[in-house]
């Protein structure tokens, strides 16, 4: 056998894509499971497509035997590195047989085959299959699978249909990243579903014994998702069984393996006593997301990892549509935009900015980002706006027909819409290539009966990209008269050049409602008059813009309070109070309208406006604003809260959740006034986790010293609830105490950094939940995070690299804080033996 040295930290480029010379059409796998010495036998049916050696991927595999067409392979016919196996002079068509040994118990990276609380499970996206056996571990190689799982574990699952105990056949060709295996002592909640084609499907949600009472909502969400995808996209399910498995140790949210979705247990298990309304909403949307991948991701997959947004952006868009249908358009859309701005706009404004379709990467796991997922979904939404709902349906239908069974590209996707609708999407395609959030400047004039809107777009420079071209921006807008009546219903103006304008003949200046429904992921710069904004807040028929008007008014106040020490004026406080008490408005909407922009949102906006954000000042100003609102509502608060009571059995549906959300906001205001008296009563009376967490957070904010212990005593048996306990304490600590508390909690017997949920709860409690604490001017927050990143990187690089993004805003801050953060980033980057994941992240952040 010849030897070669692998190349570390190599950059992979989209432009270098080349098809494989030899492909694999069928994979037969046989597993003999053992924690330290699992044997994997593989038979790959291979066929030559072009000239060249066959280079298979494999990592941390002990090769026991290798043969072609049953004949052991001579040492000069192949070579190996740490990451590859190359076959020389492979015949035109042959069967490659290998046997390897792996140690799932030692796999703490949670990629490949690993163990979680005694059960075996796999995670193969993006490149985990190569840690199981030698194979062409890339998405454009699609094969059918036969899998045999030996041994006597009671439950043995893989993809496709079960053909005997522990044997599975998957008839649908799939890439390696969709392979899955689960084995252990598990219990199923089962149900049935009959598809529109008449296929009878068994549905199972598998959990560890003890958790079987927590699966009902996930199962219900699955059935509603299956129905929705048939009704809205015409996509039925295609196997006789659909399995979901809950796993406690998981790096991400969930995984769409064909017929065998594997979930972080946080996104499956729920009961009213242990899960909040937000948890229920997450379970519903993630179950839907993974199920929808069966068509957008699995039946049609990605040619290469640069096309990741082809499956993720589209599938996020689909799960957002589903949640809008299930829970109400306005609240869902507002929530999605809040999330987009908090995570994606932040990413787009910093050193990690990248296009929705990147052109290069070092470690693909670092590109499961808000840009690829959430901005990717916005691109689908814009496309739908541009071609209209009918055009969108026609384009999707063509995509499913033309590309079923393919590993496709963004070009393939867009071509379907060009063919189906006749539209030229070449400028639209820039959205996939140009990073950064465009700014759209709007100005208006009214003179001699002519109302004129002027528009200008600015596409900012981002790392590696300057001097960008104008984008194709759909701007949905409407006009209102000064008294709030809509005089022009929503229309879409397409801004395709750097500047544009619109004129209207009118007798009086109208009120402009622009970017309705957030029709494009842009930052609007529009010095609209105060009275126009108040008119929109009171009357806009577009619920998103009605909320947005209130948001802009609040943000204005908070920014001026930070920069000019301005107080909070009556006009604003009265408008907020009017909304809070408006009994005709939906409680969920009122709760959203009462929420002030987050500390990070303000930091980002201040930085965008050329002001260096001071985290302590932002923290103080937000609290002052809350106190002012609370004082204005003082007399109304108790009655308002009583009106939001949801007596009777807990119902996770949107209507009651909206009431609880508003009640929680009002409790926050009341706590500003009474120091925690009402929160204590609410905590003791809570009969569901939503109310309990709201009361808990408020008691912590009020400085209560007993509730944390009480909560712990009540819930220490429940790991998912304890994740909330770790997070909330750090997030709601006084900023100066946050790092010390976080550090103390890392020594709590239940803190286990090897469990990603626990690690993230504590770390994100500080970095995202308590910005003023994380940015403690003494630098202790930065050192604390860096210490833990260096510690966890040795075993779990994926989760570590993801958490390192807490540093991505470092250039926003004052020189002292910048120095402190840079020093920690440099310390990390100078450490010997860093993972490829973390090394790429710190390199990009330091550039
Ligand atoms: N593909 C998964 C999803 O979006 C996410 C994921 C990526 C999970 C990588 C695990 C590893 O649903
Ligand atoms: Zn996905």
Handedness of CA 516, 522, 526, 531 (dihedral sign): positive
Nearest alpha-carbon partner for 667 in 706, 644, 695, 705: 695
**462-479 per-position pLDDT tens digit:** 999 999 999 999 999 999
Per DSSP bridges, beta strands 241-247 and 260-264 are parallel
Span from the CA of 309 to the centroid of ligand 1 (angstroms): 12
Does the C-beta of 614 come closer than 6 Å to ligand 1? no
Span from the CA of 365 to the centroid of ligand 1 (angstroms): 9
Does the C-beta of 363 come closer than 6 Å to ligand 1? no
pLDDT higher than threshold 70 for residue 726: yes
Does the C-beta of 140 come closer than 6 Å to ligand 1? no
Q: Where are the domains of the chain?
A: 23-185, 300-432, 439-526
Which residue has its alpha carbon closest to ligand 1 atom 11?
125
**557-607 per-position pLDDT tens digit:** 999 999 999 999 999 999 999 999 999 999 999 999 999 999 999 999 999
pLDDT higher than threshold 90 for residue 818: yes
Q: Taking each helix axis from N to C terminus, what angle separates 689-701 and 719-731, rounded to the nearest 10 degrees? A: 30
Span from the CA of 667 to the centroid of ligand 2 (angstroms): 36
Q: At 173, is the secondary structure helix, strand, or coil? A: strand
Does the C-beta of 319 come closer than 6 Å to ligand 1? no
Contacts of residue 387, Cβ cutoff 8 Å, sequence gap at least 6:
395, 417, 420, 421, 423
Task: Give the DSSP letter string of 455-466.
Answer: EEEE---BTTB-
Q: Which numbered ligand comes closest to the C-alpha of 315?
A: 2
Q: Which numbered ligand comes closest to the C-alpha of 256?
A: 1
Atom of ligand 1 nearest to the CA of 315: 4
Which residue has its alpha carbon closest to ligand 1 atom 9?
125
Which residue has its alpha carbon closest to ligand 1 atom 5?
255
Q: Which numbered ligand comes closest to the C-alpha of 261?
A: 1
**Distance (Å, whole) CA 178 – CA 260:** 9
Strand partners, 146: 28, 169
Does the C-beta of 704 come closer than 6 Å to ligand 1? no
Please state, as a whole number, how many other Cβ atoms lie within 10 Å of the Cβ of residue 728: 22
Residues with CB under 5 A from ligand 2 (ion): 312, 315
pLDDT higher than threshold 60 for residue 1: no
Catalytic residues: 290
Ligand 1 mutation pick, 262, 368, 372, max ligand atoms within 8 A of CB? 368
pLDDT higher than threshold 80 for residue 381: yes
Span from the CA of 253 to the centroid of ligand 1 (angstroms): 7
733 to 701, 726, 770: CA distances (angstroms): 7, 11, 8
Does the C-beta of 311 come closer than 6 Å to ligand 1? no
Which residue has its alpha carbon closest to ligand 1 atom 7?
125
138-162 average pLDDT score: 98
Does the C-beta of 130 come closer than 6 Å to ligand 1? no
Which residue has its alpha carbon closest to ligand 1 atom 3?
255
> How many separate helices (H) and strands (E) can be counted in the chain?
28, 32
Span from the CA of 13 to the centroid of ligand 2 (angstroms): 22
Does the C-beta of 289 come closer than 6 Å to ligand 1? yes
pLDDT higher than threshold 70 for residue 357: yes
Ligand 1 mutation pick, 126, 127, 244, 254, max ligand atoms within 8 A of CB? 254
Verify cis geometry, omega within 30 degrees of 0, for the bond prior to 126.
Answer: yes
**431-460 per-position pLDDT tens digit:** 999 999 999 999 999 999 999 999 999 999
Span from the CA of 257 to the centroid of ligand 1 (angstroms): 9
Does the C-beta of 254 come closer than 6 Å to ligand 1? yes
**Distance (Å, whole) CA 707 – CA 34:** 44
**495-513 per-position pLDDT tens digit:** 999 999 999 999 999 999 9
CATH code, 23-185:
2.60.40.1730
pLDDT score for 3? 41
Does the C-beta of 255 come closer than 6 Å to ligand 1? yes
Atom of ligand 1 nearest to the CA of 256: 12
Segment holding 454, helix H or strand E = strand 450-458
Does the C-beta of 665 come closer than 6 Å to ligand 1? no
Does the C-beta of 290 come closer than 6 Å to ligand 1? yes
Atom of ligand 1 nearest to the CA of 316: 4
Percentage of the chain with pLDDT > 90?
Answer: 99
**Distance (Å, whole) CA 7 – CA 236:** 44
**227-250 per-position pLDDT tens digit:** 999 999 999 999 999 999 999 999
Span from the CA of 370 to the centroid of ligand 1 (angstroms): 13
Ligand 1 mutation pick, 122, 124, 125, max ligand atoms within 8 A of CB? 125
Does the C-beta of 124 come closer than 6 Å to ligand 1? no
Q: Which numbered ligand comes closest to the C-alpha of 365?
A: 1
Does the C-beta of 123 come closer than 6 Å to ligand 1? yes
**294-313 per-position pLDDT tens digit:** 999 999 999 999 999 999 99
Do the domains 439-526 and 23-185 match in fold?
Answer: yes
Does the C-beta of 312 come closer than 6 Å to ligand 1? yes
Longest CA–CA span in the chain (Å) reads 90
Span from the CA of 256 to the centroid of ligand 1 (angstroms): 7
810-837 average pLDDT score: 98
Span from the CA of 273 to the centroid of ligand 2 (angstroms): 29
Does the C-beta of 285 come closer than 6 Å to ligand 1? no
pLDDT score for 91? 96
Span from the CA of 560 to the centroid of ligand 2 (angstroms): 40
Q: Which numbered ligand comes closest to the C-alpha of 254?
A: 1
pTM of the predicted model as reported, rounded to 2 decimal places: 0.98
Which residue has its alpha carbon closest to ligand 1 atom 12?
255
Continuous H helices in 732-846: 735-745, 756-767, 771-774, 780-793, 797-803, 815-829, 836-846
Which residue has its alpha carbon closest to ligand 1 atom 2?
255
**Distance (Å, whole) CA 675 – CA 697:** 12
Please state, as a whole number, how many other Cβ atoms lie within 10 Å of the Cβ of residue 771: 25
Span from the CA of 812 to the centroid of ligand 2 (angstroms): 31
Atom of ligand 1 nearest to the CA of 111: 11
pLDDT band of 336, cuts 50, 70, 90: very high
**166-183 per-position pLDDT tens digit:** 999 999 999 999 999 999
Atom of ligand 1 nearest to the CA of 312: 4
Characterise 36 by phi-psi region: left (phi > 0), alpha (psi -120 to 50), beta (else): alpha
pLDDT score for 4? 43
Atom of ligand 1 nearest to the CA of 251: 10
Does the C-beta of 252 come closer than 6 Å to ligand 1? yes
Contacts of residue 812, Cβ cutoff 8 Å, sequence gap at least 6:
603, 604, 607, 612, 613
Q: Which numbered ligand comes closest to the C-alpha of 312?
A: 2
pLDDT higher than threshold 70 for residue 7: no
pLDDT score for 9? 85
Q: Which numbered ligand comes closest to the C-alpha of 109?
A: 1
Continuous H helices in 409-529: 410-421, 430-433
Strand partners, 458: 439
The correct answer on CATH 3.50.50.60 for the domain covering 300-432 is no
Atom of ligand 1 nearest to the CA of 289: 12
Span from the CA of 308 to the centroid of ligand 1 (angstroms): 10
Span from the CA of 721 to the centroid of ligand 1 (angstroms): 24
* Architecture of the domain made up of 439-526: Sandwich (2.60)
């Amino acid at each position: 056998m010849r030897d070669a040295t692998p190349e570390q930290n190599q950059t992979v480029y989209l432009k270098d894509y080349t098809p494989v010379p030899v492909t694999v059409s069928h994979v037969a796998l046989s597993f003999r499971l053992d924690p330290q010495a699992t044997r994997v036998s593989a038979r790959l049916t291979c066929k030559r497509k072009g000239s060249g050696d066959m280079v298979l991927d494999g990592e941390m595999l002990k090769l026991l035997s290798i043969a072609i067409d049953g004949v052991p392979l001579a040492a000069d016919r192949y070579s190996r590195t740490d990451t590859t196996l190359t076959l020389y002079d492979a015949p035109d068509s042959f069967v490659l047989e290998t046997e390897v040994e792996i140690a799932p118990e030692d796999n703490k990276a949670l990629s490949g085959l690993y163990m979680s609380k005694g059960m075996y499970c796999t995670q193969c996206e993006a490149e985990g299959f190569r840690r199981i056996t030698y194979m062409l571990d890339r998405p454009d190689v699609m094969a059918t699978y036969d899998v045999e799982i030996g041994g006597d574990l009671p439950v043995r699952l893989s993809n496709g249909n079960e053909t005997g105990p522990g044997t599975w056949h998957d008839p649908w060709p799939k890439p390696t990243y969709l392979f899955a295996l689960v084995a252990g002592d598990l219990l199923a909640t089962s149900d049935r579903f009959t598809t529109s084609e008449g296929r009878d499907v068994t549905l199972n949600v598998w959990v560890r014994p003890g958790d079987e009472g927590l699966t009902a909502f996930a199962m219900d969400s699955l059935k509603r998702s299956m129905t929705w995808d048939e009704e809205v996209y015409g996509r039925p399910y295609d196997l006789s069984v659909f399995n979901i498995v809950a796993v406690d140790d998981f790096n991400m949210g969930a995984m769409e393996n064909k017929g065998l979705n594997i979930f972080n247990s946080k996104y499956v298990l729920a009961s009213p006593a242990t899960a909040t309304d937000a948890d229920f909403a997450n379970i519903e949307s993630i179950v839907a997301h993974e199920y929808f991948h069966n068509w957008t991701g699995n039946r049609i997959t990605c040619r290469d990892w640069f096309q990741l947004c082809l499956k993720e952006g589209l599938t996020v868009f689909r799960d957002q549509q589903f949640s809008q249908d299930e829970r109400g358009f306005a609240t869902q859309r507002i929530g999605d935009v809040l999330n987009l701005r908090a995570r994606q706009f932040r990413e787009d404004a910093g050193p990690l900015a990248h296009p929705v379709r990147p052109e290069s990467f070092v470690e693909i796991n670092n590109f499961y980002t808000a840009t690829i997922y959430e901005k990717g979904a916005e691109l689908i939404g814009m496309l739908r706006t541009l071609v209209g709902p009918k055009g969108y349906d026609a384009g999707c239908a063509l995509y499913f027909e033309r590309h079923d069974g393919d590993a496709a590209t963004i070009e393939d996707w867009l071509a379907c819409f060009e063919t189906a609708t006749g539209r030229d999407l070449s400028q639209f395609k820039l959205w996939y290539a140009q990073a950064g959030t465009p700014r759209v400047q709007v100005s208006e004039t009214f003179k001699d009966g002519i109302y004129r809107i002027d528009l200008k777009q600015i596409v900012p420079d981002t790392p590696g990209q300057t001097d960008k071209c104008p984008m194709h921006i759909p701007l949905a807008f409407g006009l209102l008269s000064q008294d709030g009546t809509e005089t022009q219903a929503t229309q879409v103006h397409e801004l395709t050049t750097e500047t544009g304008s619109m004129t209207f003949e009118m007798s009086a200046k109208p009120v402009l409602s622009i970017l309705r429904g957030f029709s494009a992921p842009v930052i609007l710069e529009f010095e609209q008059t105060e009275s126009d904004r108040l008119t929109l807040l009171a009357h806009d028929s577009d619920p998103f813009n009605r909320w947005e008007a209130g948001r802009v008014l609040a943000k204005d106040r908070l920014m001026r309070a930070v920069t000019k020490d301005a107080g909070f004026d009556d006009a604003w406080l009265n408008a907020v109070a009017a909304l809070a008490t408006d009994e005709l408005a939906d409680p969920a909407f009122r709760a959203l309208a009462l929420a002030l922009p987050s500390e990070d949102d303000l930091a980002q906006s201040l930085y965008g406006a050329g002001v260096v954000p001071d985290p302590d000042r932002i923290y103080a100003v937000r609290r002052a604003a809350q106190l002012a609102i609370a004082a204005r509502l003082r007399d109304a608060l108790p009655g308002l809260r009583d009106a939001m009571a949801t007596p009777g059995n807990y119902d996770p549906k949107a209507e009651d959740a909206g009431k609880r959300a508003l009640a929680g906001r009002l409790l926050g205001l009341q706590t500003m006034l009474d120091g925690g008296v009402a929160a204590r009563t609410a905590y003791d009376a809570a009969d569901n986790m939503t109310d309990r967490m709201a009361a808990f957070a408020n008691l912590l904010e009020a400085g209560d010293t007993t509730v944390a212990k009480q909560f712990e005593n009540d819930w220490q048996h429940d790991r998912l609830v304890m994740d909330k306990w770790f997070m909330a304490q750090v997030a709601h600590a006084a900023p100066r105490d946050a790092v010390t508390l976080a550090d103390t909690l890392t020594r709590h017997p239940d803190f286990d950094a090897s469990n990603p949920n626990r690690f993230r709860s504590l770390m994100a409690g500080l970095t995202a939940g308590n910005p003023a604490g994380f940015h403690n001017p003494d630098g202790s927050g930065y050192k604390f995070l860096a210490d833990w990143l260096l510690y966890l990187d040795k075993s779990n690089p994926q989760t570590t690299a993801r958490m390192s993004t807490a540093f991505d805003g470092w250039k926003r801050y004052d020189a002292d804080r910048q120095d402190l953060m840079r020093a920690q980033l440099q310390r990390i980057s100078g450490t010997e033996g860093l993972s490829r994941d973390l090394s790429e992240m710190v390199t990009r952040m330091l550039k």
